[in-house]
Amino acid sequence: MSEVSHLTDQLSKASWSYRWSVTVLLSYVTMKAAFDIFILNLATANVPFHCAQAVIDNQTTEWGSVNISELADTANFSILDYKCFAPQFAREDNGRLAPIRVINDSSASNRPCTAWTYWPTEPGRRNMLMEYDFVCDRAYLADRMQTIMQAGIFVSCCFAPLADAFGRKLPFILFAYIDLTSTILVIFVRDLTAQMVLRFFMGFGSPAVLTGVAYLTELISEDYHGLHGNFYWILWVVGYTTSGVIAYLVMEWRLQMVLVAAIIATGYLSYPWSLIDSPKWLFASGHQSAAKDSLLRLFRRHGLDTATVETMKVDEESTKLKGESETLQSSQANAELDSDSKKRRRQQPSNFELVRRQLSRLLPKESLCQSKYLAVEAAFTVLFVANAMSYFSSSFRRDFITKNPYLNVVISGALELPAAFLAWFLTDRCGRRISNMLLLLPAGLLLILVPFVPQPPDVTFGAKSACALLSKFLITVSFCIVLIFGSESLPTNIRATSFIMASQVMRLGQTLAPELNGLLLNVNPAFPNFFYGGFCVASGLLLILLPETHNRPMPDSIADMAGLSLPDACLPRARRQLQLQSVELPSRQSPTV
């Protein structure tokens, strides 16, 4: 593996075109993820409306057919006051219409409105809220669209460990294409239920985003992880900011989706021939010849001398023997745990057994018995959740800065660009661990202090807004760094699976953040700030337990993980070592070369 890493480093340092072509292509999935979230968020933004119906002598009619001059009391009547219930009138003897006063909206005599008139700020605008009438008793559907897509993100991550079983390239392309296909179908589908189903499958682009992190860190030299790892998220910033511009300039929401699909297709369509599977994954999985072929293709594509690659030794037989040895050791070490089940196992494995073996390939049982691995995985899970919940709870707010939702998205997105550059600077100069600590601790304290900062109600942007923006800025920088930090800390042979497991919990927190925010607000308006701020502070302190990865090789296996020295979780360390030492491997003469 060290030889493959050396050749990858050599390729990265010798060819800037290789580094940037790989980074830009992989980064398209992050831009698409931003488009999916924020274009939808703006497509369901509130629009001023009123009921488009009226009830005259218990007969429902269109409001447009009512003669305003016939109203008996025009001075005290405004149709804008009627949103979810239709105004009611009784025709007097003189032919004028007298409004029927209703005590409250819950009165049984009220007539619920079933048609509405919208008057957006920009004439000609038509968004999803207007097309599907996400108002009154249907207002929950606006948030439901976002929730369904987040559910798709959560469910799809269950399939992301395929990147450890079948390589990085194939699953990456598969999930990216599911997302793009769903986006194209959304443009033409009119049925609301079908729209929701397609939004669910648009969430299936998330495994491509997460796999892309591991993919990129394996293709690029560690010396460039800071720069290229953070550029991976700069296209998220581009998508975030551009979402506000697209949604504002393009009035029809379906045309917005056409533009998004066209932008993303320019990168996605080149994936099958432009991307090459990770040589590091291929080598770690025992496919040494395939790893060598991938390196040869990369060196030739970028005009580099292939002599060093051609001299790379390929010993498939040695890899096979090593795999058999590790399998024998694993089975012997876990004999006590699996003895009962092995006795009941038939000679011909059942379908369930075949599935269990495949899952064991993705995350071997010996990994689950290593407290060192479990501690690192748990720590990064907490860090991912803290960053995600704090970040998205503020990003989904359409009135975070001003009352203009399009301007808010542009400002919030533009704020992340300097955050990405700061993340690059900090990862290269200060390292991963200390940078995250210096970001999460003050971000959490600022969130806790925001409710106590005075700001006059007539001031659009004041001290309180500045504190909120600064806290989000710091969380954004931390988010950029912690994903690289986590990918570098986890072993290559189960990196994608481990990364996805932590990300699954992160996605769950991301999905629950709005609901949790509402529950805390009902208790006390300051409680959401206390919760998210305290979570950030606790996560910042947790970083003390993690090892630094800056200028250190990424671990290929759990044995290579540095910094934590903990006993095995499933068996006592001494007992497990004795079991491993008692394994006698069959002698087998190596072939003569």
Are the C-beta atoms of residues 406 and 463 closer than 8 Å to each other?
A: no
11-15 long-range contacts, CB within 8 A, separation 24+? 11/221, 11/295, 11/298, 11/299, 11/302, 11/304, 12/220, 12/221, 12/223, 12/224, 13/221, 13/223, 14/302, 14/304, 15/302, 15/303, 15/304
Which is nearest to 323 in space by CA: 351, 365, 350, 287? 287
Q: How confident is the model at residue 289 (pLDDT cuts 50, 70, 90)?
A: confident
Mean pLDDT of 286-307: 85
Mean pLDDT of 429-440: 86
In this predicted structure, what is the pLDDT of residue 573?
47
Q: How far is CA 453 from CA 463, 464, 466, 467, 532, in A?
A: 7, 5, 10, 8, 17
**369-566 falls under which CATH superfamily?**
MFS general substrate transporter like domains (1.20.1250.20)
Mean pLDDT of 90-103: 76
Q: Name which of 101-110, 118-127, 179-188, 277-286 the model is least confident about.
A: 101-110
* Other beta carbons within 10 Å of 567: 13
Find which of 72-81, 452-461, 490-499, 531-540 is predicted with most confidence, using mean pLDDT.
531-540
Structure-model confidence comparison of residues 11 and 258, the more confident one: 258
In this predicted structure, what is the pLDDT of residue 430?
81
In this predicted structure, what is the pLDDT of residue 401?
67
Which residues does 553 contact at the CB level (< 8 Å), separation at least 6? 5, 222, 560
In this predicted structure, what is the pLDDT of residue 30?
93
Does the reported pTM lie above 0.75? no
Which tokens belong to 588? 């087998």
Mean pLDDT of 224-239: 83
Mean pLDDT of 37-47: 89
Ranges for all domains in the chain classified under CATH 1.20.1250.20: 1-45+129-314, 369-566
In this predicted structure, what is the pLDDT of residue 109?
63
Which is nearest to 261 in space by CA: 149, 185, 355? 185
Q: How confident is the model at residue 470 (pLDDT cuts 50, 70, 90)?
A: confident
Mean pLDDT of 546-561: 74
Mean pLDDT of 186-207: 94
Mean pLDDT of 176-190: 95
The whole-angstrom separation of Cα 547 and Cα 486 is: 11
In this predicted structure, what is the pLDDT of residue 368?
55
Q: How many residues in total does the chain contain?
A: 593
Mean pLDDT of 363-383: 71
Are the C-beta atoms of residues 261 and 28 closer than 8 Å to each other?
A: no
**CATH no. of 1-45+129-314:** 1.20.1250.20
Q: How far is CA 411 from CA 106, 238, 399, in A?
A: 40, 12, 12
In this predicted structure, what is the pLDDT of residue 514?
66
Residue owning tokens 């009619």: 61
Q: Name which of 234-248, 416-430, 503-517 the model is least confident about.
A: 503-517
Q: What is the mean pLDDT of the chain?
A: 79
In this predicted structure, what is the pLDDT of residue 197?
95
Mean pLDDT of 409-418: 84
Strand duo 49-51 + 97-99: pairing:
unpaired
Which tokens belong to 171? 């699953």
The whole-angstrom separation of Cα 200 and Cα 194 is: 10
Q: Name which of 27-41, 271-285, 355-369 the model is least confident about.
A: 355-369
DSSP structure string for 186-255 = HHH---HHHHHHHHHHHGGGHHHHHHHHHHHHHHS-GGGHHHHHHHHHHHHHHHHHHHHHHHHH--BHHH
Give the 3-state secondary structure of residue 568: strand
Structure-model confidence comparison of residues 299 and 584, the more confident one: 299
Find which of 65-79, 85-99, 175-189, 212-226 is predicted with most confidence, using mean pLDDT.
175-189
Looking at residue 563, its amino acid is: G
